[in-house]
Amino acid sequence: MSYRAQISEALKATLDGKTVAASKVFTALDRPMQAGELPALIIYTMGARRDRESYGNSLIPRIVTVHIEGATPSTPEAAQAAAEAFADQIEAAVEADPTLGRVVDWCTWQQTHTDVSSHGSTTLGVVLLEYEVRLFTNERPPEWFGVGNDGFTATPMTVSTSGLALGPGFPTPLSPPADLACGPNGCDLPAWGAEVPRP
Q: Residue 195: inside a domain, yes or no?
A: no
Judge whether 68 and 41 are in contact, CB under 8 Å: yes
Q: Residue 105: inside a domain, yes or no?
A: yes
Can you give the pLDDT at residue 17? 93
Instruction: Kindly give the pairing relationship between strand 106-119 and strand 182-183.
Output: unpaired
Judge whether 8 and 66 are in contact, CB under 8 Å: yes
Digit-coded pLDDT (tens) for 67-104: 999 999 999 899 999 999 999 999 999 999 999 999 99
Which domain does 129 fall in, by range?
Answer: 3-142
Q: Residue 172: inside a domain, yes or no?
A: no
Q: Residue 11: inside a domain, yes or no?
A: yes
Q: Residue 180: inside a domain, yes or no?
A: no
Q: Residue 33: inside a domain, yes or no?
A: yes
Q: Residue 61: inside a domain, yes or no?
A: yes
Number of domains in the chain: 1
**Measuring CA to CA, how many Å separate 121 from each of 21, 73, 118, 155?**
20, 11, 7, 57
Residue 11: how many other CB atoms lie within 10 Å? 28
Torsional sign, CA 30, 31, 36, 40: positive
- CATH number assigned to the domain comprising residue 104: 3.30.70.1700
Q: Residue 81: inside a domain, yes or no?
A: yes
Stretches in the chain below the pLDDT threshold 50:
none
Q: What is the pTM of this model?
A: 0.67
Can you give the pLDDT at residue 148? 64
Judge whether 46 and 67 are in contact, CB under 8 Å: yes
Amino acid present at 149 = N
